[in-house]
C-alpha cells in the first residue's frame, strides 16, 4: 500500500473515531453529571485526614497563602510557612500558634530558585518531618506598569508564577511518590480560562499552571499513584490584596460578582483538596460558564467575553496608560 493511501486511511479512521465520540458525548455528559450528583448525595468521596502530616505553603506570609496555612493547621497539619517576606511569614506562624496546637515554622525562600527550595526541603524535613502536602500559592499579582510592562517584570512574573511550579514539583514530589501519598494544590486563576486583556503575562502563567497540573495528574494515574492528589484552584478576584481591590474597583467587577474573601476561599480549597477534587473554581458557578463557553468557536468566545466586559477593560486601559 502506498504511503498516501495509508495516510488517507488513518485520517479516515481518526474522523470516524471523532464522529463516534461526538455521538456518544450527550450520554457521557449524562453519566458524568449523574456520578457527580451521586457522589455528592452519598458522600462516596469522604474527606481524608491530614492530622500530623507536614504541609509546605508558599507565599504564606500574606493573603490567600496565610488563610490556607491557618485552615490546614485547623485540620491538624504541621505547617512550614514559606515566603520571601520573613516578617509576614513569622506573623502567620504566630497566628497559627495562638489558636492551634500544631507545629509551625517560618522559612525564607524565593520560589524562583531551585537551590533555595532544595535547602528548604532539607530544613523542613529536619524540623517537622517529610512533606506530604504542597500548596503552590506564591505569586506576584500585578506589574508596576500594567499596560506596557517592563521586560524585567514580565520575566519575574513568569519565573514566580510559572517556572516555580517545576521547581517545587522536582523538590517535593519524590518523597510523596516514595510514601505513595500526598496532596499538591496549585493556585491558578479563572484568568487561565477567561483571558484578561492587558494582563497577558498573568493570563499566560495561569493557563500554563492549569495545563501543567493536568499533565501531572495523568502522570500520577499512569504511575498508579492514586493517593497523590493534584488540585488546581481557579479563583475569581479575591479580597486578599489591596492592589487587586483597587483594580477591581476601577473595573466595577463587584457588580458582576462579589469578591471572595481569603478565609472563604481557603475553607473551600482545603475541603476540596481533602476530597481529591481535580479543579476548584471560585465561585463554583464559574465552572459551568467555563464549560459552556468552550463549545463556541474561538472568535465567538472572544466576542462573548468582550460583550460582557469591553467597557470595563477600556476604562482600565485608559486609566492605567
Ligand atoms: N487576589 C486575587 O484576586 C487572586 C485571584 C486569582 C488568583 N490569585 C492567586 O492567589 C495567590 C495568592 O494571592 P494573594 O492575593 O494572596 O497574593 P498576596 O500578594 O497577598 O500574597 C502573595 C505572597 O507571596 C509571597 N511571594 C511573592 N513572591 C515570592 C517568591 N518569589 N517566593 C516566595 N514567596 C513569594 C509574597 O511575599 C506574599 O506574602 C496568587 O497565586 C494569585 O495569583 C489571586
Ligand atoms: C512583609 O510583611 C509585613 C507583615 O505582614 C508587611 O507589613 C510588609 O509590608 C511586607 N513587606 C513587603 C515588601 O511586602
Ligand atoms: C527572587 O528571585 C528572582 C529571580 O531570581 C529575583 O528577580 C527577585 O528579586 C527575588 N526576590 C527576592 C525578594 O529576593
Ligand atoms: C502569580 O501568582 C499569584 C499567586 O498564585 C497570583 O496571585 C497572581 O495573580 C499571579 N500573577 C500572575 C501575573 O500570574
pLDDT of the chain along its 321 residues, tens only? 789 999 999 999 999 999 999 999 999 999 999 988 888 887 666 788 999 999 999 999 999 999 999 999 999 999 999 999 999 999 999 999 999 999 999 999 999 999 999 999 999 999 999 999 999 999 876 666 778 888 888 888 899 889 999 999 999 999 999 999 999 999 999 989 988 888 888 899 999 999 999 999 999 999 999 999 999 999 988 887 787 788 788 777 777 778 889 999 999 999 999 999 999 999 888 888 888 998 999 999 999 989 888 888 888 888 877
Direct distance between the N- and C-terminal alpha carbons of the chain, in angstroms, rounded to an integer = 62
Q: Tell the residue nearest (CA) to atom 1 of ligand 4.
A: 139
* Distance (Å, whole) CA 58 – CA 65: 7
Q: How far is the CA of 145 from the centre of ligand 1 (A)?
A: 18
Instruction: Ligand 3, residue 112: give the atom nearest the CA.
Output: 2
Count other Cβ atoms within 10 Å, centred on residue 104: 25
Pick the ligand that lies closest to the CA of residue 83: 1
The whole model's pTM is what?
0.91
Distance 5 CA to ligand 4 centre (A): 50
Domains of the chain (ranges plus CATH)?
48-320 (3.40.50.720)
Q: Which helix (H) or strand (E) holds 279?
A: strand 279-282
**Torsions phi, psi of 183, nearest 5?**
-130, 130
Amino acid at each position: 500500500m502506498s504511503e498516501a493511501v495509508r495516510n488517507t486511511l488513518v485520517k479516515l479512521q481518526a474522523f470516524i473515531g471523532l464522529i463516534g465520540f461526538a455521538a456518544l458525548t450527550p450520554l457521557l455528559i449524562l453519566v458524568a453529571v449523574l456520578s457527580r450528583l451521586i457522589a455528592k448525595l452519598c458522600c462516596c468521596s469522604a474527606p481524608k485526614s491530614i492530622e500530623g502530616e507536614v504541609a509546605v505553603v508558599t507565599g504564606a506570609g500574606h493573603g490567600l497563602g496565610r488563610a490556607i496555612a491557618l485552615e490546614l493547621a485547623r485540620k491538624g497539619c504541621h505547617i512550614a510557612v514559606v515566603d520571601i517576606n520573613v516578617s509576614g511569614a513569622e506573623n502567620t506562624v504566630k497566628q497559627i500558634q495562638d489558636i492551634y496546637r500544631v507545629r509551625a515554622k517560618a522559612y525564607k525562600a524565593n520560589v524562583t530558585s531551585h537551590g533555595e527550595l532544595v535547602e528548604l526541603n532539607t530544613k523542613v524535613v529536619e524540623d517537622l518531618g517529610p512533606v506530604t502536602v504542597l500548596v503552590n500559592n506564591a505569586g506576584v499579582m500585578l506589574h508596576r506598569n500594567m499596560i506596557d510592562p517592563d521586560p524585567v517584570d514580565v520575566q519575574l512574573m513568569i519565573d514566580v508564577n510559572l517556572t516555580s511550579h517545576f521547581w517545587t514539583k522536582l523538590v517535593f514530589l519524590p518523597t510523596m511518590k516514595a510514601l505513595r501519598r500526598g496532596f499538591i494544590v496549585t493556585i491558578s486563576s479563572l484568568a487561565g480560562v477567561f483571558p484578561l486583556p492587558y494582563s497577558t503575562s498573568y493570563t499566560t502563567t495561569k493557563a500554563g499552571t492549569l495545563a501543567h497540573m493536568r499533565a501531572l495528574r495523568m502522570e500520577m494515574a499512569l504511575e498508579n499513584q492514586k493517593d497523590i492528589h493534584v488540585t488546581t484552584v481557579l479563583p475569581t478576584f479575591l479580597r486578599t490584596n489591596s492592589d487587586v481591590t483597587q483594580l477591581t474597583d476601577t473595573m466595577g467587577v463587584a457588580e458582576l460578582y462579589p469578591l471572595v474573601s481569603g478565609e472563604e476561599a481557603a475553607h473551600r480549597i482545603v475541603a476540596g483538596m481533602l476530597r481529591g477534587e481535580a479543579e476548584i473554581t471560585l465561585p463554583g458557578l464559574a465552572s459551568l460558564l467555563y464549560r459552556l463557553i468552550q463549545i463556541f468557536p474561538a472568535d465567538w468566545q472572544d466576542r462573548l467575553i468582550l460583550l460582557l466586559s469591553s467597557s470595563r477593560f477600556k476604562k482600565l486601559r485608559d486609566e492605567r496608560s
